[in-house]
Structures are given as C-alpha cells and as structure tokens.
Amino acid sequence: MASILKSLRVVADPTRIRILSLLEQQDLSVAELQEVLAMGQSRISSHLAQLKQVRLVEDRRSGKNVIYTLKQQPDDSLQGILDLIGPARKEIAEIAEDNAALNLTIRKRKDKARAYFDQLAGKFGRQYVPGRSWKALAETMLKLMPPLVFADLGAGEGTFSQLLAQRAKKVISIDSSEKMVEFGSKVAKENGFKNLEYRLGDIEDPPIDDASVDIAIFSQSLHHVVKPERALQSAFRILKPGGRVVVLDLLKHQFEDAKELYADLWLGFSELELSQFFKRSGFVKIDPAVVDREKSSPHFQTIMVIAEKPGG
C-alpha cells in the first residue's frame, strides 16, 4: 500500500490533477497527453512516474506506444484520494481547455476516413493518368454546388476566386495589396468574369456588407494577419445566418524562417487554437481536420476548418 501522505503530496499538484482528470475519461499515451496539455514529453513522463509510484495510474504497451490508464481497482485509501479530485478540478482553470483538447484527440483516433484519405492524397498524382488532376476534381465539385455568394478573404492575385467565379453567383475578393487587386481585376476582366469583384481592404475588417455572403474563405491568409480571431469575427459579421466559413491554413510548425521568407506573422495554428477562435467568434458545428502533409522539408501540414453561423 502506498503511503497516504505521499499520495496526498503527489495529487496536490495542478498538473497531476489535470492528468488524472483526463485519464478518468480516456486511456492516453504520453504523446496524446503532450498534445492535450501542450507540455513536453519529459515533464509529462515525470508526472506519470510519480502517479504510477503511488499506484494511482497503470500503464500497458500497445504496439510502439505505452498507454496510461487510471487504476481500475484502487484500495480504499487511494479511492478516497481519487474522490478529492472532483472538487479540486473546479479550482483549475485549464480543465475546460483540457477537455476540449481531449475531444479533438479522441476524434483523431476514431477518424479512420481521415487516415485513408491521407494515404490516398500521398499517392494521387505520383503516376501519370491522362485527364486526372486536382483542378479537374475541384471544377467538378464546383459544378455540383448551387450558385452562392463567396468572399475570398486574403485572395492575393485571386486564382481561387477565378475558379469559384465559374459557378458562383458572385465572388468578392479582398486583399490589402493594391498591386494584387489591380492584377486580379485585370485578369477577371480579360476572362469575362462579371461576377468577380476585387476590393482593396483589410481582412480583419473587410469592406463587405453585413449578412451578405454565403461562404467566407481564408485560403492560407489567416497566418498573415495580426489578429486572426478578429478576422474570424469579421467573417461572422458578413455571413448570412446559416452561412459557412472555411479556413485553409498551416498547422502549427517550428519553421521560424517562414517569417522572413513568406512574411508570415504566425507559425501556423493548432486544431485546438483554431477551434477556440471559431467558438469565441460565435460559430457552431466547428469541424477541423488536417488535409495535407508535404513530403519535403520543412514538412508543412495544412489544416482545414469549416464552421457555421447559427440561424440558418
């Protein structure tokens, strides 16, 4: 039997209470605990070792991973200590964020389709097949969509906007660069896109009327703005009730040179970080997924998040 005093000292730590609270809901690996708690591996392993020493947690090997679980049948003294965790959780502000992050981690585990499509995406285009391309697939999907009003926020020269304009009722392309807007407008005119309008403006406060857009899109633009959450709040403003916002951006990375090479202000975003931005901006049905992984260094990954403005 573990010393009761030692056990009390072990659980009298906010981080270890957070870990016990998570393991009470789900068995987790060290890597998953790292992701949920946003802490380093050595720090988490140290906490787990102490919890294991007083027999509050157990571990088992599953393939290459070690899975940690709350002890299933603790003795009476340990059960009494575990019973104290419930009230103590109310004093730890990070618990709510931990639970949100845990939901994302569990979802990743269960999302077999995502793993399948990751493999498919890695194979697509390696071998030449006449007539098959991502552009052809994208245009096929657009043809199936009803005519809608799109806002392309941070459009650059507007390649995506021009693709959307082939089917959309209207596309409003916003960019803060006068040269980009001038170039995009020229290309739209040359191609006869009367439903494509370029406007000079800041995507944190785009020059678009309230509740006038069906779909707002940020395609690799959010990491260039000073306040990404403010940009999402503006997207919420311009969307019609029931309208949707789509973000395609870089998953959080450590390639510091991106700030110098690409004028990036943010080194990508985590799924949890973006989900919280969306939630605080008022969106519902928030659906994040990693949709692409580059093979070459620095191995950028692309995250897509789709969410909805309530009221549709």
> Mind listing the pLDDT tens digit for each residue in 49-88?
988 888 888 888 766 778 898 876 656 666 777 777 777 7
How many other C-beta atoms are found inside a 10 Å radius of the C-beta of residue 207? 11
Residue 252 DSSP label: P
How many other C-beta atoms are found inside a 10 Å radius of the C-beta of residue 65? 13
CATH architecture for the domain at 4-99:
Orthogonal Bundle (1.10)
Is 24 in contact with 64 (CB distance < 8 Å)? no
User: Which two tokens mark 115?
Assistant: 């793993």
The pLDDT, as a whole number, for residue 303 is: 93
Three-state secondary structure along 139-202?
HHHHHHCCCCEEEEECCCCCHHHHHHHCCCCEEEEEECCHHHHHHHHHHHHHCCCCCEEEEECC
CA distance 110 to 108: 6
Computed over every residue of the chain, the mean pLDDT equals 85
Local structure of 133: helix, strand or coil: coil
> Mind listing the pLDDT tens digit for each residue in 81-131?
777 777 777 888 888 898 888 888 877 776 654 555 455 455 555 555 566
What confidence tier does 8 reach under pLDDT thresholds 50, 70, 90? Answer: confident
Is 95 in contact with 48 (CB distance < 8 Å)? no
Is 54 in contact with 64 (CB distance < 8 Å)? no
> Mind listing the pLDDT tens digit for each residue in 222-247?
999 988 999 999 999 999 999 999 99
User: Which two tokens mark 278?
Assistant: 């969306």
User: Which two tokens mark 155?
Assistant: 């459009």
Residue 258: its H or E element: helix 258-261
Instruction: Calculate mean pLDDT across residues 202-221.
Output: 95
CA distance 267 to 265: 7
User: Which two tokens mark 218?
Assistant: 């940020």
Q: Where are the domains positioned within the chain?
A: 4-99, 113-308
Query: Could you tell me which CATH number the domain at 113-308 has?
Result: 3.40.50.150
Global pTM?
0.63
Q: Please give the share of the chain, as a percent, with pLDDT higher than 90.
A: 37
> Mind listing the pLDDT tens digit for each residue in 193-211?
999 999 999 999 999 999 9
The pLDDT, as a whole number, for residue 132 is: 58
Instruction: Calculate mean pLDDT across residues 165-174.
Output: 92
> Mind listing the pLDDT tens digit for each residue in 170-198?
999 999 888 889 988 998 888 889 999 99
Residues forming a β-bridge with 67: 29, 60
